[in-house]
A and B are shown apart, each in its own frame.
Chain A
């Protein structure tokens, strides 16, 4: 039993259960909920340090040896994702203290947040495909309830679409797992990587690979499977949207990168070309959808889709540099995108609306918020020296190496359109004269005495600072991503760690 690997599951689980015990105490459930996410962040950093120093960590649950029992594995990519999950969980939990109403809190908001983190960390750490399915269900179940909690009409309508399409994805995933078991006779990922080349069933493996692409593609929100996302993400409170935007689609991207670097690498020229083309179309449709929107959260929801395209494109190039670019892009995007959602929440606090037409004058009201918005928005659009620029630079470099000039051109044009739609938010929400003055209660919450302003602004400031650090110290961040990508592209080390020795 390797404690550093098991704790990312135990901490959110016990936090969630404890906050169920303190169901009736507002202070207790808040303290436990936020404390648990902070412990998860510390634990993620510990895990990252351990993996960086000692290589891939493996733990066999119940001491059943590798291909038979369930195992937890953390390579560098998993460890990075766990750190990010802890960080975003912590930032959003603090932000929730100021924005989630009593009603939602008393129906177990903090417990659900931790159940969600449990599912996400489990998906990042498992080394078994069926176990991955189970973790997907855990995080889906928590996200269903978080989405529907509150029971307003838009939430209900969004939840129906979200629940249906995600359950279809799960059914497809389960079917693909069953087919793969029929072909290979194992579901351990390392064992699959070893046995599939010997199975001599290239056609059926490619067919199964495409089934996995559809199943994970629905969860990641790639073209043409993303329609549940803009229909549901803008309905719950903004803290919930922020944690969804940060983690849920990225779990899909993580699963795609994991299976298409470890397991389905027999017919790269076919499978990864499909991924590349889908990535290109995803970028374009996402950003075009965003341009057509006039509501901040809907606009940002479409940008999630567009940014997923970049990560998928990195996977499609399939070189170590491109995978490193995709990993860097995932980190950058989680930081920048969540921050934009949290900032849109402050717009709502002040003006009681997300409609761009009814917003205005935010620059005059809070210059600090404007500065934080500019950091995140420019980073998303890819302005140097912020993190988005380096993400796009690495991906473009990798594309030129593989001589995919057309798609790199598309990616850069999409960056320009992203810039355009960020400018739109800036002009409408920050610069123009507001059609209505901000509400007095909102001003009292944001500028008055009391802790609310710190709870609202400190997570945004923390994450914006990290975006800056990621951009200014891009070399160090790229070195980490490159090492993670090397591990992914040379699965021999992963296979040896899982099947060779298990503690």
Chain B
């Protein structure tokens, strides 16, 4: 299972980075979204995959045999933050396309030094 998830994470990173290197800024934002999903899945995998009981001590017989709830809590927080950031990035892209008149990173060189 870890191997499968490792391949999925690697694929997500590769796809995300590929999208970010395209010239279209909409694809750049999609790449960012893929990148944050890859990071979330990485936390999930690194937290340790096990078929343990849910971490509710009243029902679990043994306190050591329950699953670790922390990675899920971290991922939940990261998903919420990632969602907010993604929404902002989409609005920014919309405004950029309106102001610059193109969806092309090569046309945005005026501020480069």
A residues neighboring B (CB under 8 Å): 130, 133-134, 137, 140-141, 144-145, 148, 151-154, 156-161, 163-164, 167-168, 170-172, 174-175, 177-179, 181-182, 230-232, 234-235, 289, 292-293, 298, 302
A482 to chain B, nearest CB (A): 37
B76 to chain A, nearest CB (A): 12
- Which of B25, B38, B43 counts the most chain A CB atoms within 10 A? B43
Task: Identify A175's interface contact among B28, B39, B77, CB under 8 A.
Answer: B39
**What are the residues of chain B within 8 A of A234 when measuring CB–CB?**
111
**B99 interface contact, C-beta 8 A:** yes
Tell me the complex Cα distance, A177–B70, Å: 12
CB<8 Å pairs between A and B, sample of 7: A151-B99, A167-B35, A171-B39, A175-B43, A178-B46, A179-B46, A182-B48
B46 in contact with A182 (CB, 8 Å): yes
Task: Identify A232's interface contact among B36, B38, B109, B111, CB under 8 A.
Answer: B111
B111 in contact with A154 (CB, 8 Å): yes
A159 in contact with B42 (CB, 8 Å): no
Tell me the complex Cα distance, A211–B78, Å: 18
**What are the residues of chain B within 8 A of A145 when measuring CB–CB?**
88
Q: Mark B90-112 against chain A: 1 for CB-CB distance below 8 A, else 0.
A: 00110110011000010011111
**What are the residues of chain A within 8 A of B108 when measuring CB–CB?**
157, 160-161
A156 in contact with B99 (CB, 8 Å): yes
**B50 interface contact, C-beta 8 A:** no
A224 to chain B, nearest CB (A): 15
A137 in contact with B85 (CB, 8 Å): yes
Tell me the complex Cα distance, A156–B77, Å: 28
A134 in contact with B92 (CB, 8 Å): no
**What are the residues of chain A within 8 A of B105 when measuring CB–CB?**
160
> Secondary structure of the A side of the interface?
helix
A159 in contact with B92 (CB, 8 Å): yes
B78 in contact with A174 (CB, 8 Å): yes
A294 to chain B, nearest CB (A): 10
Specify the chain A residue showing the minimal Cβ separation from B74.
Answer: A130
Q: Mark B54-84 against chain A: 1 for CB-CB distance below 8 A, else 0.
A: 0000000000000000110010011001001
A157 in contact with B88 (CB, 8 Å): no
How many residue pairs link A and B with beta carbons under 8 A? The number is: 111
Tell me the complex Cα distance, A156–B78, Å: 26
> Secondary structure of the B side of the interface?
helix
**B15 interface contact, C-beta 8 A:** no
A167 in contact with B78 (CB, 8 Å): no
**What are the residues of chain A within 8 A of B85 when measuring CB–CB?**
137, 140-141, 167, 170
Task: Identify A298's interface contact among B39, B46, B71, B113, CB under 8 A.
Answer: B113
B42 in contact with A141 (CB, 8 Å): no
**B89 interface contact, C-beta 8 A:** yes
Specify the chain B residue showing the minimal Cβ separation from A301.
Answer: B113
Task: Identify B95's interface contact among A156, A182, A231, CB under 8 A.
Answer: A156
Specify the chain B residue showing the minimal Cβ separation from A136.
Answer: B81
Interface size class of B (residues with CB under 8 A): 35 or more
Tell me the complex Cα distance, A175–B34, Å: 13
Task: Identify A174's interface contact among B36, B84, B92, B96, CB under 8 A.
Answer: B36
A178 in contact with B39 (CB, 8 Å): yes
Given the known inter-chain contacts A153-B110, A154-B111, please indicate yes or no for A160 contacting B47, CB distance below 8 A.
no
**What are the residues of chain A within 8 A of B45 when measuring CB–CB?**
182
Given the known inter-chain contacts A148-B95, A181-B70, please indicate yes or no for A134 contacting B100, CB distance below 8 A.
no
- Which of A170, A179, A298 counts the most chain B CB atoms within 10 A? A170
Give me the 9 closest cross-chain CB pairs, A-B, nearest first: A182-B46, A178-B43, A174-B39, A157-B108, A171-B35, A175-B39, A156-B96, A156-B99, A178-B42
**What are the residues of chain B within 8 A of A232 when measuring CB–CB?**
111
Specify the chain A residue showing the minimal Cβ separation from B16.
Answer: A171
A289 in contact with B99 (CB, 8 Å): no
**What are the residues of chain A within 8 A of B43 when measuring CB–CB?**
174-175, 177-178, 181
**What are the residues of chain B within 8 A of A130 when measuring CB–CB?**
74, 77
B46 in contact with A181 (CB, 8 Å): yes
Given the known inter-chain contacts A158-B111, A167-B32, A181-B47, please indicate yes or no for A175 contacting B92, CB distance below 8 A.
no
**What are the residues of chain B within 8 A of A156 when measuring CB–CB?**
92, 95-96, 99-100
**What are the residues of chain A within 8 A of B109 when measuring CB–CB?**
157
A141 in contact with B88 (CB, 8 Å): yes
Tell me the complex Cα distance, A8–B46, Å: 34
B113 in contact with A181 (CB, 8 Å): no
A231 in contact with B32 (CB, 8 Å): no
A205 to chain B, nearest CB (A): 14
A230 to chain B, nearest CB (A): 5
**What are the residues of chain B within 8 A of A140 when measuring CB–CB?**
85
B89 in contact with A153 (CB, 8 Å): no
Task: Identify A141's interface contact among B20, B39, B84, B96, CB under 8 A.
Answer: B84
A238 to chain B, nearest CB (A): 15
Task: Identify A182's interface contact among B25, B47, B89, CB under 8 A.
Answer: B47
Tell me the complex Cα distance, A163–B85, Å: 9
- Which of B25, B32, B38, B113 counts the most chain A CB atoms within 10 A? B113
